[in-house]
Amino acid sequence: MREKVIDTARALGLQVQVKRLEDSTATVEDAAKAVSCPPAQIAKSLVFVADGDPVLCIASGAHRVDLERLAEIFDVAEVRAAAPEEVRAATGFSVGGVPPFGHGLPVVLDEELLAHEMVWAAGGDGHSLFQIAPRQLADCTQAIVAPVGA
């Protein structure tokens, strides 16, 4: 799966080094500990279902996502967290390893990530991460940049 992330990054004009770590990176806490950074520098890729369609939210690991804000951003009536099987169907990746690009989904990027020079994102599985500038991430995903924190 890491190779798929690297290939997708190259196709987007990005040079990323996906690091395979011995420790789990499947949760924000695990990822932050694995690369010795604060949770706010973890760019978690979360799949939601907005009026029946999957969408991706790249959020700061420092907070939870406000579903009402996502509904406003995507101009939909209802947003809910995707079930693990919906995440896999929408992205091809399992929860805990979803990279922030390569899915063709509408994307919103948490504006709080822009406060950091670099952030860490999932590299395709629960043991891999890569570092990227958040503005570069917003640009390559054509993300709507907005506040999403609860």
* pLDDT score recorded for residue 3: 85
Q: Residue 47 sits in a domain of what CATH number?
A: 3.90.960.10
Whole-prediction pTM value?
Answer: 0.95
Q: Give the per-residue pLDDT at 150.
A: 83
Query: What is the domain count for the chain?
Result: 1
Q: What is the DSSP string of 90-134?
A: HHSS-TT---SSSS---EEEEGGGGGSS-EEEE-SSTTEEEEE-H
- Tens digit of pLDDT per residue, the chain (150 long)? 778 898 999 999 998 999 999 999 999 999 999 999 999 999 999 999 999 999 999 999 999 999 999 999 999 999 999 999 999 999 999 999 999 999 999 999 999 999 999 999 999 999 999 999 999 999 999 999 999 998
Domain that holds residue 84: 2-146
- What is the per-residue pLDDT for 1? 75
**Gap between the Cα atoms of 68 and 90, Å rounded:** 22
The whole-angstrom separation of Cα 94 and Cα 64 is: 20
- By CB atoms closer than 10 A (0-12, 13-18, 19+), residue 142 is exposed
